[in-house]
Structure 1
């Protein structure tokens, strides 16, 4: 399975991140361990929402959508 996940910083209100992975627990731990340059300064993180896909291309496409302008609006209204 491929997971598109949305995480939110516990330390810095309003800091959010969208990513894709095949191992949610491991990836969240990596974010909280500071192994991602994009998220290390806002740790710790908590998992807010995830969506599972059986197809990698669909997961990556959904991740790109959530990072777009209309995707931000959709996520703010429906997923956060």
Structure 2
């Protein structure tokens, strides 16, 4: 399985969308293991949303949508408003 996940930095009010076969390990990487990249500036992160997909291609397609303008609006309206 492949997963699309949305991380949220409560302190900074930022979101990050990605995909992985192991979202919990990716969360650990974003919070502790990585020493470069955009996400290190906004630690700590928590997972606020996960979607499962059978194929990598489907997960990548969903990730691409969620990173688009309409996808970001969806995240704000449907996911962030539930927090």
Q: TM-score, normalised by structure 1?
A: 0.91
Inter-CA distance 34–9: structure 2 relative to 1 (3 Å threshold): farther
Paired position in structure 2 for 1:20: 19
CA distance in 2, matches of 1:22, 1:61: 15
C-alpha root-mean-square deviation of aligned residues, in Å? 1.2
Deviation at 1:10, TM superposition (A): 3.1
The 5 Å alignment of 1:36-55 reads 36-55=36-55
Matched, 1:65 2:72: no
Q: Could you list the runs of 5+ residues in structure 1 that have no partner in the other structure? A: none
SS at 2:4's partner residue? Answer: strand
1:39-62, Cα deviation, whole Å (9 max, x unpaired) = 001111011001000111110000
- In proportion to residue count, which structure has more helix? 2
Runs of 4+ that moved beyond 2 A: none
Would you say the 8 A contact 1:2–1:20 is kept in 2? yes
